[in-house]
Amino acid sequence: MTSLFWPARSLANGLGLAWWARVETRDPDVTYWFGPYVRRASLEAALPPFLADLRQEGPGQLSHSLVRARRSEPLTIQAQG
């Protein structure tokens, strides 16, 4: 992420207005959070390379949704059990 836009992204995230992609894989069961972005269009433009990288890892299934949310660490969450 460009450091020039980081203050705006940080503020939007703190207010719960930032755009995030929630990406879920099965086999392994992992949830990835990709963001934050101030504009949905910016997220949509940046997401395909991230998804392509995940697909190369060979998960059984991969799905994603775009949400407005406030997120903090951890941004990668592996299912327990």
Tell me which H or E stretch contains 49: helix 40-56
pLDDT band at 73 (very low <50, low <70, confident <90, very high): confident
The rounded mean pLDDT for the chain is 91
Tokens of 33: 């959070």
Q: Answer yes or no: is pLDDT of 15 > 90.
A: no
The pLDDT score that the predictor gives to residue 2 is 54
Q: Answer yes or no: is pLDDT of 61 > 80.
A: yes
C-alpha span between 5 and 81 (Å, rounded): 39
User: What does pTM read for this prediction?
Assistant: 0.85
* Residue-number span of the structural domain to which 65 is assigned: 3-78
Closest by CA to 22, choosing from 59, 50, 53, is: 50
pLDDT band at 1 (very low <50, low <70, confident <90, very high): very low
If one counts the domains in the chain, the total is 1
